Structure 1
Amino acid sequence: MTELSDEQAAMQHYLVCGTEDCQENGQFYCNDCHRPLCEQCRDDHLKSPKTKTHEIVLYRYRKQQLPVEKCELHPTRNIDMLCKECQIPLCSKCSTREEHQGHKFDDLEEIYAEKYALQQTEFSKIQKYFLPTTEELKKNIDEDATEIKKVMESIRTSMKAEAKSLKNLVDEVTSENIEQTYTMEKSLLKMLNSQETTYNDYIAYLEKMSDAFQEYLSITHHKLLFSKTLKIQSIPETTKPVPPVFTAGQFNKHDVSKLLGKVNVPNSKPEKRKIRAMEAVTTHMKSTEKQLEQSKEKSDMKQTLSLSSSVTKVREYRVPGIDNVYHVSVGKSDRLWVTDYRGNLVQTDLQGNLLQKIQTSGGRGYHTATQDGDLIYTDQDKKVIYRITPDRKITEFIKTGDWTPLSVYSSRINGDILVGMDRDKEVKVTRYSKAGKEIQNIQWDKQGRGLYSTPHFITENINGDICTSDINKRAVEVVNKSGQHRFSYTGQGLVLCPYGICTDVLGHILVCDGYSNIVYLLDQDGGFLSFILSPQQGISYPCCVCPDDENNLYVGQYNTNTVTVYKYLQ
């Protein structure tokens, strides 16, 4: 097989057949020779007497090749077998040594392939069961915490209302008791006033009698003998008032607690959270694998890359009112939104007619079409995200405070809004609901390091992964929907200068490299698949990529105001 230079490898648009001088698509793989084969070479391989017994599979089902490790005793030979009795890896020459006489040996490559498959299965379990299930449980805990806060706040409100009710009753009873004391006081004072009047009248009577006696005493002696003897009335009797006595109430803190009630912890045991059984997931995974196995050919043709000749240009649009194409968003009703580096944002139809043009503060991946047919774009100067409705009405949607919004994307999964933004030396990705409510911030990895430097283009994959082009880090950074870092892609032997990024219906990640004039195609886990577009297709300075509902790929370039549409999926 002829060895390709780095430059030649960079220009390949598909996996090249491993047969010497054959440049066809290597969609098959020989597990014995460990090399890709095109369809014709596969047929020739199976016809050849030397290789007709070789195992040939679709490339995606290939066995992993055993890593090369030289034997210490025989440096010219590779370790490729395992002594079953000694459990020692060794080369074929070592197997003839006296200490291994009569022993049985296993093919180390078979063991490696089996172990690799097992590890891949375990990895798949983590991605498809353990992580999603744990994240779901964590979400349940957050929901329970929110519910607990609501319940406790409701209890506190009830306590305050009950205390206020009791206080009102205490005030009412106290007011009535005080009013009763005034009534009793008035009655007793009235009685005492009556007694005082009685004694005033008696004193007047005594003064009158005193005058009468003085008059009798002034009469001559012989007349006094014949005068009437006066009698003095006795002193009137009165009663002493009995003042009321206040009897204090008999109560304590316990009595008040009984009146007001208290918070009790139920005796029932906490219910265990339901953990989704892995068997169901495993069964689903096995069923899926079986279905894939039964439809390898169909699945392979649908999900793998086509030949370079099938990456065809569908049409072109020359966009009026702009100098170049920095970013493109495909909206509904066959409408395109395109911006240039000067911040001109224009809307056109597929005939290239200018429908709308506004001046913005500019940026790179700073606008996105929504499922509702609106366009959302950021204003870095004002730190505001605006919404344009189909009737061309522009409204203020989200204020980002002291954070500068750099890039924006409207989720095709749930309508959430993903925004890459920075502030001084801090950088983050924020998730907003479709109503504009902040619900998530993604900023740090598990070691507390910043995940981003300049996330100037952003998108979301079909599994919820958030993918960003980070120009300063020279990388595509991918986190899962919970914000945990999954992988970084830094290029395929070349320095990556990432610009526009998007994903397709199969979970592929497509990213523009403005330096190498290439559009990369990656799988969902960051594995390199191919250079889907390159200068061979006339690509120069690709800045942006965007798919439509028919799986066409819209590509914009820095050196022209033309949007080119390609078909790359069969």
Structure 2
Amino acid sequence: MATTSDEQAAGQHFLVCGIQDCQRNGQFYCNDCHQPMCEQCKDEHRKSPNNKNHDIVLYRQRKHQLPIEKCKLHPTKNVDIFCRECKTPLCLKCFLGKDHKGHEFDDLEEIYAEKYALWLGEFSKIQKYFLPTSEDLKTDIKEDVTEIKKIMESIRTSMKAEAESLKNLVDEVTSEKIEHSHTMEKSLLQMLKSQEATYDDYITYLGEMSAKFQKYLSTSNQKLLSSEILKLKTIPETSKPVPPVFTPGQFNRDDVAKLLGRLNVPNTEPEKRKIQPMEAVSTPMKYTEKQMEQSKEKSDMKQTLSLSSSVTKVREYRVPGVIYYACHVSVDKSGRLWISDNKGNLVQTDLQGNLLQKIQTSGISEGYHTATQDGGLIYTDRNKKVIYRITPDRKITELIKTGDSTPVSIHSSCINGDILVGMRGAKVTRYNREGKEIQNIQRHNQGQELYDYPHYITENINGDICTSDYHKHAVVVVNKSGQHRFSYSGQRSEFCPYGICTDVLGHILVCDNVSETVHLLDQDGGFLSVILSEQQGIKLPLGVCVDDENNLYVGQYSTNTVTVYKYLE
């Protein structure tokens, strides 16, 4: 459980005034008396002449009390003075003694307060700058790992394609040469076949001549005495074929390597990773002139705004088209309301409560819709696992498919337009405004699951992601890099968080379904007060939302009414 001080007793609904038996909200603090005070007791305290110079501030601006430490020389006395000369803490007896006569002294409580503020500042730097910046650099490295793997795989694909191309060329040339060898072989074989036919004809001729000779040599043949003499044709001459000779190509491995592309690292100086300067942490975006003007207005507003001593009801809206529950409320730039119930009815009304449009969705008691910076709306469809966008002209388009994960809650960032989605599969996913997934938040640094059922989600002014987790009975807060900052589990043994939102001062407002109240936390999870309860006419608040004019909208159980309150002044 996140608490702001050790004085906070379990079961309290707010910081109790420390004056006598007063049980009112101790939102102020006397730095001299070191006790919280309500507004009435603060005024009474100042009326006393003994207290007129007391330093009374808002509780969250209090000085932290000096821890009790006994003097080593005088064990019954507390140390509360610091000797500048000896650089050592002293009690009153030491201060009055001879050893420190003429020395210069400081109030140890002042030194402690300064040191506390210094260490708190350093701790804040760790939490708000060094850790998030380091996590961003780690994310940058992970992106580089992915990019390098992608580039190397592309290079290997190119190498294989080039080698395949060379192989194809080799195969093509080899095929042509083999075909040429077949042509040469055919020509040579035809020549030899022609020579073979020549000798076949000559052998036939010799056979015929042999028959004639046999006939003439017969004793009974009178032609032998003829003056005709048989003459033989000479043996035809033929030439032996000259076979082709194959001369192997003259190449080696280097010749082949030269034919293919080369892989090398460019002779370029590596670019150093950009580390965002500490003073730029609060303004990570590059703002337009209009955004800078709006930012200045908000900054000026922060300096003048503070928690009001009481919560004032401003107005109420009856929401037509919503059945029984007003589970979640979104307010767009024009001040028009989007309200949903547990039956999937999502309706838009104007400032007078008139119905403007109604959409049937698959949503239940979850924060499944969010107004966008351009005046539109984004909502989830848990059944189809799709996120839809509604433009200001009422056109509905599909924006994101969430795959195997069921989207149950959604928030459109006022810082950079990113879309934060709480998934039933125990994670929060960040998309950019175009719907590209850029971050998944799922586990603590130690590996444990951060979420179980983040059914409401929002973002604080410092980029923290705040979720109400129904099954974990806690508000779970991580920084923009996804590192766990704190979890808040209420002020009683039972806590069931529902709707959650933040305001211009960085407060976190969350509905508790068990105590039927709205809790107000500071930016670091410290409990400040129960801001709304049955005393303000609230019955089981489910959905909360703060508009640009710092009005708090509250949707409740068993009614289709949205009530608006002022709690800052």
TM-score normalised by structure 2 residue count: 0.80
Contact 1:17–1:24 (CA under 8 A) maintained in structure 2: no
- The residue number in structure 1 matching 2:366 is 364
State the distance in 2 between where 1:197 and 1:252 align: 47
**Secondary structure at 1:568 match in 2:** strand
Deviation at 1:169, TM superposition (A): 1.7
- The residue number in structure 1 matching 2:420 is 418
**1:418 alignment partner AA:** L
> Kindly tell me: are residues 136 and 62 of structure 1, through their superposed partners in 2, closer, same or farther at Cα, counting changes over 3 Å?
same
**Secondary structure at 1:307 match in 2:** strand
CA displacement 1:312-352 (0-9 Å, x = unmatched): 32211122342232222224554323233455444333333
> Kindly tell me: are residues 471 and 95 of structure 1, through their superposed partners in 2, closer, same or farther at Cα, counting changes over 3 Å?
farther
State the distance in 2 between where 1:469 and 1:446 align: 20
Judge which range, 333-342 or 45-54, deviates more: 45-54
**1:499 alignment partner AA:** Y
Deviation at 1:106, TM superposition (A): 3.9
Q: Superposition pairs for residues 2-17 of structure 1, below 5 Å?
A: 10=13
> Kindly tell me: are residues 73 and 512 of structure 1, through their superposed partners in 2, closer, same or farther at Cα, counting changes over 3 Å?
farther
- The residue number in structure 1 matching 2:145 is 145
Contact 1:302–1:569 (CA under 8 A) maintained in structure 2: no
Judge which range, 46-55 or 230-239, deviates more: 46-55
Q: Superposition pairs for residues 63-462 of structure 1, below 5 Å?
A: 63-71=63-71, 77-83=77-83, 88-96=88-96, 105-218=105-218, 227-266=227-266, 270-277=270-277, 302-308=304-310, 311-321=311-321, 322-331=323-332, 333-354=334-355, 355-356=357-358, 358=360, 360=362, 362-380=364-382, 383=385, 385-386=387-388, 398-400=400-402, 403-423=405-425, 427-462=426-461
CA displacement 1:369-399 (0-9 Å, x = unmatched): 3345444444555655555556666666555
Judge which range, 445-454 or 529-538, deviates more: 529-538
**2:234 alignment partner AA:** S
Deviation at 1:527, TM superposition (A): 2.9
State the distance in 1 between where 2:221 and 2:38 align: 172
State the distance in 1 between where 2:303 and 2:416 align: 30
State the distance in 1 between where 2:468 and 2:313 align: 25
Deviation at 1:457, TM superposition (A): 1.8
State the distance in 2 between where 1:141 and 1:301 align: 38
Gaps of 5+ in 1: 285-294
State the distance in 2 between where 1:223 and 1:451 align: 128
> Kindly tell me: are residues 298 and 55 of structure 1, through their superposed partners in 2, closer, same or farther at Cα, counting changes over 3 Å?
farther
State the distance in 1 between where 2:383 and 2:375 align: 25
Gaps of 5+ in 2: 1-6, 285-296
Contact 1:31–1:57 (CA under 8 A) maintained in structure 2: yes
State the distance in 1 between where 2:14 and 2:133 align: 42
**Secondary structure at 1:441 match in 2:** strand
Contact 2:136–2:481 (CA under 8 A) maintained in structure 1: no
**2:479 alignment partner AA:** N
State the distance in 1 between where 2:537 and 2:49 align: 44
> Kindly tell me: are residues 58 and 345 of structure 1, through their superposed partners in 2, closer, same or farther at Cα, counting changes over 3 Å?
closer
Deviation at 1:565, TM superposition (A): 1.1
CA displacement 1:137-158 (0-9 Å, x = unmatched): 2233233223323322332232
Q: Which has the higher contact order (CA 8 A, sep 6+)?
A: 2
CA displacement 1:435-469 (0-9 Å, x = unmatched): 44443322211222222343222111122211112
**Secondary structure at 1:140 match in 2:** helix
> Kindly tell me: are residues 453 and 279 of structure 1, through their superposed partners in 2, closer, same or farther at Cα, counting changes over 3 Å?
closer
Residue 542 (structure 2) pairs with residue 539 (structure 1):
no
CA displacement 1:67-109 (0-9 Å, x = unmatched): 2344577565432134556655442234456776776654321
> Kindly tell me: are residues 134 and 252 of structure 1, through their superposed partners in 2, closer, same or farther at Cα, counting changes over 3 Å?
same
**Secondary structure at 1:262 match in 2:** coil
State the distance in 1 between where 2:223 and 2:351 align: 151
Contact 2:362–2:383 (CA under 8 A) maintained in structure 1: no
> Kindly tell me: are residues 6 and 107 of structure 1, through their superposed partners in 2, closer, same or farther at Cα, counting changes over 3 Å?
closer
Deviation at 1:220, TM superposition (A): 8.1
Question: Quick one: percent identity of the two aligned structures?
Answer: 68
CA displacement 1:193-237 (0-9 Å, x = unmatched): 332233233334433433444454457899866724444333222
- The residue number in structure 2 matching 1:509 is 508
What RMSD over aligned residues (CA atoms) do the two structures have, in Å?
4.3
Residue 521 (structure 2) pairs with residue 522 (structure 1):
yes
Contact 1:345–1:360 (CA under 8 A) maintained in structure 2: no
Judge which range, 531-540 or 56-65, deviates more: 56-65
> Kindly tell me: are residues 381 and 77 of structure 1, through their superposed partners in 2, closer, same or farther at Cα, counting changes over 3 Å?
farther
State the distance in 2 between where 1:299 and 1:549 align: 11
State the distance in 1 between where 2:518 and 2:225 align: 155
**2:420 alignment partner AA:** L
> Kindly tell me: are residues 420 and 278 of structure 1, through their superposed partners in 2, closer, same or farther at Cα, counting changes over 3 Å?
closer
